[in-house]
Amino acid sequence: MDIREQIIQCLAEAAGMEASEVDAALEVPPSADMGDYAFPCFRLAKTWRKAPPLIAQELAEQIGLPACVERAEAVKGYLNFYVSRTELARACLEPVLEAGERYGSGNEGQGKTICIDYSSINIAKRFHIGHLSTTVLGNALYRIHEFRGYKCVGINHLGDWGTQFGKMIAAYKHWGDKETVEREGVDAMTALYVRFHEEAEKDPSLEDEGRRWFKAIEENDPEAMEIFNWFKEVTLKDAMRVYDMLGIRFDSYAGESFYNDKMDRVIDELKAKGLLTESDGAQVVDLSAWDMPPCLILKQDGATLYATRDLAAALYRKDTYDFARSLYVVAYQQSLHFRQVFKVLELMGYDWAKDCEHVAFGMVSYEGQTLSTRKGYVVYLDELLQRAVEKADTIIAEKTPDLENREEVARQVGIGSVVFSTVLNNRIKDIDFWWDRALSFDGETAPYVQYTHARCCSLLRRAEEAGVPEGGIDYSLLTDDDAIAVLKALSAFPDAVSQAQVRCEPYLVTRAVLAVTSAFNHYYIDHRVIDEDPEVTHARVALTRAVRQVLKTGLYLIGVEAPERM
């Protein structure tokens, strides 16, 4: 039983409370001077009919403390517990060394499947920085949930439906050729699409031709489908370069077109349950009782909409994967859309609608400028990542020109910097990406954490050369303030991972990793790890080994690689 659990048990007994109630109330004070754990007694004032300071004093006198706790003090309505530093060091360090790369993992997801809809790029369009947040956040959530025992299904819900694809085919038939599209990829398709609109201004009949080709796609015409599917292949080939750079994979690329033959079920079911009503010729679900505008299901011409396809997708995913949770990592602007879709699912009688969740995030800008496709200010993601790698290489060349595998490290640092800056804060906060900030070796950045990990690796290589053993640590040698700060940061990591999973907030892992990094760097300044005293060296190397493990695990969970040399 760990220290916290022992304190919970003795408090529950002394206060006459359920252990779960004590667990929810027990805090870690903001300062070590206030103890290692603190129990606020204010919640007992009503039942005990006493002032909180008196309750705290009574508990301090009556409680039977476990051996690992040196004393308990009553201070202003709080009961503060001071743990034996040697026992604290043991309790914090042993679990990391024993669990290794599984430290912070869990099994609460065992036997459960989670669907994560993220990235969702558009066919025939280049992958730009606007897709960075959904891609990086989705990947982090995939890794975090998998780490906690869930079976994850990563879904790239491709934007591959609409009249624009009919226009693309018309443009290709008029002015395109296979060799150019194969060679230039999405850029060639974009050029064709732009030309279509230029030519359509002079010849409006082209718009009708575009609609005819889209109708051919809807009717599964062989020629139309061959070109349409080829456009998807070329786009995905282009996108895979970016996904490979980011180390991201998907289990499904079922996009909007996949649900073309699955929407009748939605429409029929809505009709059968009396949920569809007519509004200006369109078919809608009235949501006014929930202070929402109507959810559009069919347009006046009978065409389906995003909501129709998302309803079909939700039903398909539940039928296929039987998810325990279904996440949609989509920008906050789509909040109303998902509220409507989830409410319609609920009205259809599906109680699992409560398991569907919109994981919203803020806007991305680049060095102070808002991105706008219409205004022509777009930053393409492959170019951003490549530039990050080049900038990292320049910095490394200045700092450590003789570094082995410099190109590989530059890739890890450059791409890691972009990813890290995306999961640094609460996901709903807007992100303004700046090179100088992202690639700094100081402060809250990937290079800062990666360099600390590499430093730990270097120290452990030296320890291995010196023959420092791994077991039999004297924990009393890790009881100074700096060591305790590192140990507490390490012990906070599992809860950060758990909360990141529950709340769908990867930044909690990022912050936990930064806390370990900062504490260890502070420790390293004043404490030689490879010391003249072999017992001291032994203990400090064990601490370093634990730090390296948590940094590597934490970086992996948010999608960042951990170089061993920098």
287-294 long-range Cβ contacts below 8 angstroms, 24+ apart: 287/340, 287/343, 287/344, 290/343, 292/336, 292/339, 292/340, 292/343, 293/336, 293/340
Residue 371: its pLDDT value, please? 55
Query: Is residue 364 predicted with pLDDT exceeding 70?
Result: yes
Residue range 42-71: average pLDDT?
Answer: 93
Beta strands in 36-122 (DSSP E): 37-40, 69-75, 78-83, 113-117
Which fold, 443-558? Isoleucyl-tRNA Synthetase; Domain 1 (1.10.730)
Average the pLDDT over 367-372 and give the result.
64
Q: Amino acid identity of 362?
A: G
Look at residue 296 in the predicted model and tell me its pLDDT.
Answer: 96
pLDDT at 373 over 60: no
The pLDDT assigned to 37 comes to 94
Q: Average pLDDT, stretch 439-444?
A: 82
Strands (E), 412-498: 431-433
pLDDT at 377: 59
The residue-averaged pLDDT of 432-439 equals: 76
Q: What is the pLDDT of residue 374?
A: 46
Inter-residue contact 414 to 390 (CB < 8 Å): yes
Closest C-alpha among 449, 453, 426, 452 to residue 438: 449
pLDDT value for 301 = 80
Task: Locate 368 and state its tokens.
Answer: 């102070």
Strands 325-329 and 113-117: parallel
Per-residue pLDDT at 432: 79
- Cβ atoms of residues 105 and 147 within 8 Å: yes
CATH superfamily for domain 3-83: Arginyl tRNA synthetase N-terminal domain (3.30.1360.70)
pLDDT band at residue 126 under the 50/70/90 scheme: confident
Distance CA 257, CA 255 (A): 6
Overall average pLDDT of the 525-544 stretch: 94
Name the band, by pLDDT with cuts 50, 70 and 90, for residue 557. very high
- Give the H or E element holding residue 409: helix 406-422
Torsion-angle region of 499 (φ positive above 0: left; ψ -120 to 50: alpha; else: beta) = alpha
The string of DSSP codes covering 160-197 is --SHHHHHHHHHHHHH--HHHHHHHTHHHHHHHHHHHH
DSSP state of 150: P
Smallest CA-to-CA distance from 135 within 244, 232, 259 is with: 244
Give me the residue spans of the domains in the chain. 3-83, 163-246, 443-558
Exposed e or buried b per residue across 11-40, where buried means at least 16 C-beta atoms within 10 angstroms of its C-beta: bbebbebeeeebeebbeeeeeeebbbbbbb
For residue range 139-191, list pLDDT tens digits in order: 999 999 999 999 999 999 999 988 899 999 999 999 999 999 999 999 899 89
Contact predicate 529/540, CB 8 Å:
yes
- For residue 445, the SS3 value is coil
- Token code pair at residue 387: 């530039």
User: What count of other Cβ atoms lies within 10 Å of the Cβ of residue 469?
Assistant: 11
State pLDDT tens for residues 209-241: 999 999 899 888 999 999 999 999 999 998 999
Q: Distance between CA 564 and CA 566 in Å, rounded?
A: 7
Contact 200, 164 (CB under 8 A): no
Token pair of 69 as six digits = 């706790």
pLDDT at 518 over 90: yes
- Report the pLDDT value the prediction gives residue 365, as an integer from 0 to 100: 77
Q: Report residue 372's pLDDT band, with 50, 70 and 90 as the boundaries.
A: low
Rounded mean pLDDT of 264-286? 95
- Taking the CB of residue 213, how many other CB atoms lie within 10 A of it? 25
CB 500 within 8 A of CB 554: no
Which of 305, 146, 361, 124 lies closest to 232 in space, CA to CA? 124
Q: Does 3 score more than 70 pLDDT?
A: yes
What does the pLDDT look like over 85-106, one tens digit per residue?
Answer: 999 999 999 999 999 999 999 9
pLDDT of 250 reads 97
DSSP string of 247-306, one letter each residue: T---SB---GGGGTTSHHHHHHHHHHTT-EEEETTEEEE--GGGT---EEEE-TTS-B-H
Task: Tell me the pLDDT of the chain averaged across its residues.
Answer: 93
**pLDDT, average across residues 237-264:** 93
Q: Which residues are catalytic?
A: 125, 128, 131
Residues forming beta bridges with residue 117, ordered by sequence position = 155, 328
